[in-house]
Structure 1
């Protein structure tokens, strides 16, 4: 197994090392020194960022016939959500004794380890042995109480493959790692995401020993004070920035009109932005959420040819389909537009003229394929031919679908025009490039300030810095296409703007179609915060290229303040693919009979914030049944049904006791963290926090048991009334917290509670008595339905696609992840960015091997990989490989 390790090391590597040794598999592992981020390279060149996912992957490829059951998935998640946090906290704080939570967790694990045959599960063996080994190696005494678990762990740790894995890793910096991770997760209090002992491994009881007297007093005061007086807040369009208010402009990556969005597209941009937009409205911030379809470029022309329509007809068709999908998912844009408008042409050409006058544009000549019969230069997707690498006869001009390699169209063997099948010729064409090196100082100054804001994700910063690390290069902004915004400069009027330059300007033009006063949003950086939401492949366009174009105009544009980028959501064992019918697309979700809020919940629960995640039907069922049905839905329904059945739907009087005030204080603590995490756009974390508040409510009901109190004395009955009203009010608070995530469900709860609408418009800073004693509720009913295995299996089979299509065949880029810019004559810029990142990473591998004086054969192999990556990147950019090589040699001679 090859290890690429930048010290300090993450103990998470041990999990993968153990799996590799036990299964005799090879895998490349690495860790980022600054952020302690794990990255695991797969043989397919894909990367995983979760050790647990890597262990599952290794077992799947080694034993393809074995199916991962629900119990295994449950305990994998429990290790990540509960056990890991307890281990981190214990070792980071150098505690002498286990906390009550940690003891409870280990007791449950010890009991289940034998009774549930977990010690026979090879996946769980790898994960739990590695997870607990730091505890065993340093504090064996604390584990002796848990005899079954401890005995197994000591025996497993002596197995040859485990010892081999240990020998491959350095443990010098383990304490430093735990300290760092504990600081990063200081807000985490060892929560467990299960619901009850029969539904998930462990139920946590929230500790109250750290609640201060002042917190308790504040909790009681807030409850008694009731909600702040607030008239109903209506949004009046057009929404414009206001002085003295927090003005937030929200955009999500513009989806292409050449296909229906799949679940990965939806969570990667529009849904994530929708949650944040709804939260901003609850905080009464002045916000505007803008989006629309990206309609120009090669992808649209290609789709038009495929469907026998004009590009405009394709745009009209798919803009409508996108609108319908987003409406069904409850995405509440303030305005959803499109880029094929007069405003787009006017604003794009205005920015172009500013760049031209400021001398930030330069001409360069490139070679392209030209079809004399069609009288046009051919975009890569309008060229087909024989792959120069594997001889596949139907390779595209940008990529071969058989071997998956990126191709330069002019290197295809026997190329043919896709439109008329005539053989094209190679011709030169002059294009305009933006001089990014000249703009780089301005960009760096802007990013230095912008990076200090809380809304930037780690991957967005890392991708941006990787582009800047070696210096920016000039980028082409024109293309020889028909469908696009026309270039107004004489000599280039037969060309259009390259889609990556043109598409982000769509945010401005769509806003201009929303309001004639659009410049109050887009030329007002002193008063406007700009939030961008997208998948990681779109980061360079929004953090480097688009801001550089705006900076080059010398107009005072509003530039990105916060850039929130997700990793990728995959589907079951592979990727979404429209052509092969694999995965759930927006229109499919509507056909399943499962409510839109359930889809929103699971996508946000699995939101790929720090690593790629996977949509899985079994897990979808598990999360719905345990988290929504048996936790959130169960709590609210219990409280309302008891109110309806016992009190005729009228909330009884409240006389608070210490236990009630403790609950209120605990909820206030969660509420404060909810707002902090929303500010940082940790949506996945906050969804789990909502579920944690619901767990507190279920525990509160279970401990006080008002149904039993009603059978007791007059004082007991009075106590039952207090518990009931507190529980219903907690349910109302949960509906407000849930509204950004599940808006339709929130409305149903408000209807059942007969809640005054003015209370539903604002998020309270404290848990208070929203609904007073004497308030009448409406008839309650269950909020969620149970999903069963048969239903999930049927849906899984329905969207499994063509199983006979070879899995190694790569898919066209537009089918993989959400993008805004992908209409080039060469490879898409997102593909180029990915290749350049791989070149950088492999370059670091080579440097480290040479620094460590590795064997020549190992170094040579790494160098060959680096050269192949550089060649692929050059081909993707349409560069002349031969001239690039000779130039490199000349430069090398000069340096020597």
Structure 2
């Protein structure tokens, strides 16, 4: 069964930022790498979208040819993707002749079928000074809905409203600054409305002509919701041509001087990219696009849902020879430190900037991937912060993964000269192997369901399990009593099996780290089919590393950012924070704000704490959770040791509520927790989160909690 994956073609009119990476490219890379490890036939295509008004507008502003713009940013973005491990099978360009040919053939086929296009003469704004019709982005004016003075002819970037040029108040041409005039012009429209019934059934029920095509229960709710909103309002014809001098010429004798509208030709770029790859690899592109067994998945951001779930499927259906997507797992938006990415305000960091500035950061490419994966905007908008980046790197990669590998390799060399020992007795590794098998299956099932954050959490759980197992088994203590104790070998055999699993399972998330871990274990870099082979070994009860296999030493794989002895990495992160402070000062013309004194409150209520900024508040990660175990902390009459379920991850929490609650009554209690506080030990027990409580005048505590059954791991705002 062929698996055809696409990611939204990025515009080649500027560099990409972290939000782009988290939306359509990193999730697809995780999915593609996993499918390859499962031995599937995978083709993942993408490329630069090199037409459209935004590119010509930038070229006109800079006084250069559009080709200079697209050449520059095609290479820049392609290099950035490669540097961050984004493993496209082919990265094409819509300026290539093959794409022009494919798009024009597609237009001709729809035109020849009849009924798919409507030709209309309409009045469109025209710049008399430049002597050309104005595309939507060539017109600015006052937004009729919010009053923003810099709204474009297609959208107001202040309130987000979709607009048409004639709705703008006091429109002006961005080319000359002159007031445009209305002039009649003729355009081709795709009659989207005639496909409305098919689209409604296909979206809601997942069927075409009664035949199942996909399972709508597997689609994200916000994807189906947005589609149904458009369908319920009634679909309208969409213009597919434009009066521009840059783009793909419309192949029609009555369309001289017109080009295909970029939204029409851009998704066809997936087809032309596939064709080019097949030409270079001796394959037939129809095996992917016209094979009913093909699993087609579009990876996009939520701003592209309508195009990929309604318009492009209608185009493919109208053509008649193409498969439709099985899923469109669109992500929501990623913000940056509490605000939208903005190049003009200096807010955010672009991919090429990160690559340059973090060149000396250990495993810097994968550190970024990991921080984004742990906070992907899968179901709702998310926020990237440097504090979060630091925590995910230090806590997950350094404290859990790196620490485990370092200890296992050191101990294996200390006690067995670097050779994986044998089990002391048959069956002694069954429990550990079962845990590895469960984790492997869990991570795989989450990835297949496009739940990449849950998959990453399951990966961290396995690393945590390895650390806990090693710490509890304490082979060093056994060796002090009896260096020949056979249990030492069993423990390190099991630990090496966990390490081998982690090294492979890391590959979809952090491929460069995975390669390093596999090298430490003296294994080849993970390759096609290795996940399936690992699964088969585990199910057959066979080891991932045979006794006698020689391993290397890991050393410090992930030097910590927050390090009392070396602040090199912390200073690098601080420089990024300093840039944001400077950006705020430029925007607001202000320096550091001093919080006002606390306002006096009535005696029966505690005084309010000092004011904090909204940005400070948004740094707190508040999540829903459920208490799954509770016990008293030894040698303390105040503390309880709780375990909480965060929906894919469990954490240890120490809470000073022992005088208020019987541990036995807390199992199943829903809670709200702060998840991104730095872990610390209390009475010798590690606490990885803080539970929110309310306290009345009698110092009686109550949980601040969502309703029972609300679900775990959801953000509290």
State yes or no: 1:608 paired with 2:380. no
Q: Equivalent of 2:575, from 791, 794, 798?
A: 794
Displacement of 1:403 in angstroms is: 7.5
Aligned counterparts of 1:286 and 1:442: Cα–Cα separation in 2: 30
Of the three residues 278, 281, 301, the one matched with 2:56 is 301
* Distance in 1 (alpha carbons) for counterparts of 2:274 and 2:262: 19
Does structure 2 retain, via aligned residues, the 8 Å contact 1:525–1:559?
no
Q: CA deviation at 1:801?
A: 6.1
Q: Which residue of 2 aligns with 1:575?
A: 340
Deviations 1:597-625 (A, max 9, x none): 01001101101111111001112111211
Q: Quick one: distance in 1 between partners of 2:58 and 2:20?
A: 18
Which of 219, 227, 241 is equivalent to 1:478?
A: 241
Question: Is the counterpart of residue 623 in structure 1 residue 392 in structure 2?
Answer: yes
Deviation at 1:728, TM superposition (A): 1.4
Q: Secondary structure at the match of 1:292?
A: strand
Deviation at 1:380, TM superposition (A): 3.0
Question: Cα 1:563–1:758, aligned 2, differ >3 Å: closer, same or farther?
Answer: closer
Listed as ranges, the matches of 1:334-349 within 5 Å are 334-349=89-104
What do residues 304-337 of structure 1 show as CA deviations (whole Å, max 9, x unaligned)?
Answer: 1233321111111100001111011011111111
CA drift at 1:523: 3.7
The match for 1:752 is 520
1:771 aligned onto 2:545: yes
Instruction: Find 1:663's aligned residue among 426, 432, 435.
Output: 432
Whole-Å separation in 2 of the counterparts to 1:638 and 1:320: 42
Structure 2 CA distance for partners of 1:697 and 1:758, relative to 1, 3 Å: closer
Indicate whether 1:735 and 2:509 are aligned.
Answer: no
Alignment correspondent of 2:674: none
Could you tell me how far apart the structure 2 residues matched to 1:406 and 1:460 are?
Answer: 18
Equivalent in 86, 105, 123 of residue 367 of structure 1: 123
Query: Which residue of structure 2 aligns with residue 316 of structure 1?
Result: 71
- Give 1:598's aligned residue: 367
Q: Is the 8 A contact 2:278 2:285 kept in 1?
A: no
Work out the CA distance in 1 between the residues paired with 2:146 and 2:479.
Answer: 77
Aligned partners of 1:301 and 1:393: how far apart in 2? 22
Aligned equivalent of 1:549, options 298, 315, 320: 315
Asked if 1:380 corresponds to 2:143, the answer is no
Q: 1:647 to 1:514 in 2, by over 3 A?
A: same
User: Which residue of the partner structure matches residue 263 of structure 2?
Assistant: 500
Paired residue for 1:529, among 295, 298, 302? 295
Shift, 1:714, TM fit: 5.5
2:307 is paired with a residue whose SS is helix
Separation of aligned partners in 2, 1:758 and 1:381 = 46
Give me the whole-angstrom Cα distance separating, in 2, the residues matched to 1:685 and 1:403. Answer: 33
Q: Which aligned pairs between 1:126-525 and structure 2 lie closer than 5 A?
A: 246-358=1-113, 359-384=115-140, 396-398=152-154, 408-410=164-166, 412=168, 415-447=171-203, 448-449=206-207, 450-452=213-215, 456-516=219-279, 517-525=283-291
Aligned to 2:39, what secondary structure does the other structure show?
coil
SS at 2:419 equivalent:
coil
- Give me the whole-angstrom Cα distance separating, in 1, the residues matched to 2:202 and 2:145: 43
Aligned CA distance change for structure 1 residues 400 and 539 (closer, same or farther; 3 Å) = closer
Deviations 1:487-518 (A, max 9, x none): 11222222111111111000001111222355
Question: 1:676 aligned to 2:445?
Answer: yes
Q: Given the superposition, is the C-alpha separation of residues 454 and 739 from structure 1 closer, same or farther in structure 2, using an over 3 Å criterion?
A: farther
Question: Secondary structure of 1:427's partner?
Answer: strand
| 1:780 positional shift | 2.1
Unaligned runs of 5+ in 1: 1-245, 808-896
Is the 2:367–2:393 Cα contact (8 Å) retained in structure 1? yes
Asked if 2 retains the 8 angstrom alpha-carbon contact of 1:386 and 1:414, the reply is: yes
How much does 1:414 deviate? 5.2
Deviation at 1:390, TM superposition (A): 7.8
Give how far 1:286 is off.
0.7
Cα shift at 1:632: 1.2
Q: More helix by proportion, 1 or 2? A: 1
CA drift at 1:527: 2.4
Correspondence for 1:209: none
Post-superposition shift, 1:392? 6.8
Q: CA deviation at 1:785?
A: 2.0
Please say which of residues 601-610 and 352-361 is displaced more in the overlay: 352-361
Tell me which protein shows more strand as a share of its residues: 2
Q: 1:430 to 1:581 in 2, by over 3 A?
A: same
Following superposition, the deviation at residue 658 of structure 1 comes to 6.4
1:472-495 Cα offsets, whole Å, 9 max, x none, are: 222111112221111112222221
1:28 aligned partner: none
Asked if 2 retains the 8 angstrom alpha-carbon contact of 1:530 and 1:560, the reply is yes
Question: CA contact under 8 A between 1:508 and 1:518: conserved in structure 2?
Answer: no
Structure 2 CA distance for partners of 1:387 and 1:254, relative to 1, 3 Å: closer
Q: 1:260 to 1:486 in 2, by over 3 A?
A: same
Residues of 2 paired with 1:402 and 1:569: CA distance?
A: 17
CA distance in 2, matches of 1:721, 1:278: 34
> In structure 2, what is the Cα distance between the partners aligned to 1:430 and 1:802?
46
Q: Give 3-state SS (helix, strand or coil) of 1:461's partner.
A: helix
Deviation at 1:640, TM superposition (A): 0.9
Are the aligned partners of 1:487 and 1:496 in contact in 2 as well (CA < 8 Å)?
yes
1:124-181, CA deviations, whole angstroms, 9 ceiling, x for partnerless residues?
xxxxxxxxxxxxxxxxxxxxxxxxxxxxxxxxxxxxxxxxxxxxxxxxxxxxxxxxxx
C-alpha distance after superposition, 1:557-588 (max 9, x if no partner): 12111211111111112011112111121012
SS state at 1:739 partner: coil
Distance 1:571 1:623 in 2: 16
Q: In structure 1, the residue corresponding to 2:199 is in which secondary structure?
A: helix
Q: Report the equivalent of 1:688.
A: 457
Q: What is residue 593 of structure 2 aligned with on the other side? A: none
Q: Distance in 1 between matches of 2:398 and 2:451?
A: 23
Distance in 2 separating the partners of 1:526 and 1:654 = 49
User: CA offsets, 1:779-798, max 9 Å, x none?
Assistant: 32222121135543321222
Measured on the aligned residues, the alpha-carbon RMSD in Å equals: 2.4
Asked if the contact 2:39–2:528 (Cα under 8 Å) also holds between the matched residues in 1, the reply is no
Aligned length, in residue pairs? 560
User: Alpha carbons of 1:472 and 1:314: their partners in 2 closer, same or farther (altered >3 Å)?
Assistant: same
Cα offset, 1:424, TM superposition: 2.1
How far did 1:659 drift? Answer: 6.3
TM-score w.r.t. structure 2 length? 0.74
Q: Are 1:538 and 2:319 an aligned pair?
A: no
Gaps spanning 5+ residues in structure 2: where?
Answer: 208-212, 563-569, 589-717
* RCO comparison, higher one (Cα < 8 Å, 6+): 1
Using the alignment, how far apart are the partners of 2:156 and 2:116 within structure 1?
A: 36
8 A Cα contact 1:292 1:510, kept in partner: yes
